[in-house]
Amino acid sequence: MFSSATTNRGLPQMRVIIHVVGAGTSLAIALIGYALYFASTGTAEQSRRAGMAADRAILDQRDAIVLRQKQLRGDRESMQQRLRELTAMIPDAPEESRFLAQVSELAQKTQLEIDNFR
C-alpha cells in the first residue's frame, strides 16, 4: 500500500495545510471582530449625533423657555396672592344668618327670585 517515504512526504504537507487553515480561520475571526466593533461604534456615533442634534434644538429654544418660565412664575405669584385674598374672605366661624341675609338682599336688588332656598 503506502510506503514510509510517501507517508513522510504527506505529513509535512498536511502540517502546512493545517497551519494555513488555522491562520485563515484566525484571520477570519479577527476580521469579523474588527467589523463588529466598528459597526457598533458607528451606530453609537450616529446615536450620539442624534442626541446632540436634539440637545441643540432645545438650546436654540432657550430664550423662549426663559421667557415662559418668567411668565409662569408671575402667574404663580398672582395665583398665590389671589388665594391669600380669597382665604382672607372666608370667615373663621360659619355665619349662616348673615349669609342668608346677604343673599336675600342681593336677590331683591337684582330682582332674582329664589325658589326652594333652604
- pLDDT (tens digit per residue) in 36-49: 887 777 777 888 89
- pLDDT (tens digit per residue) in 19-39: 999 999 999 999 998 888 877
Q: Tell me the whole-structure pTM to 2 decimals.
A: 0.37
Three-state SS string across the chain, please? CCCHHHHHHHHHHHHHHHHHHHHHHHHHHHHHHHHHHHHHHHHHHHHHHHHHHHHHHHHHCHHHHHHHHHHHHHHHHHHHHHHHHHHHHCCCCCCHHHHHHHHHHHHHHHCCCCCCCC
Structural domain spans, the chain: 4-92
Q: Which residue has the higher pLDDT, 5 or 67?
A: 67
Q: How confident is the model at residue 50 (pLDDT cuts 50, 70, 90)?
A: very high
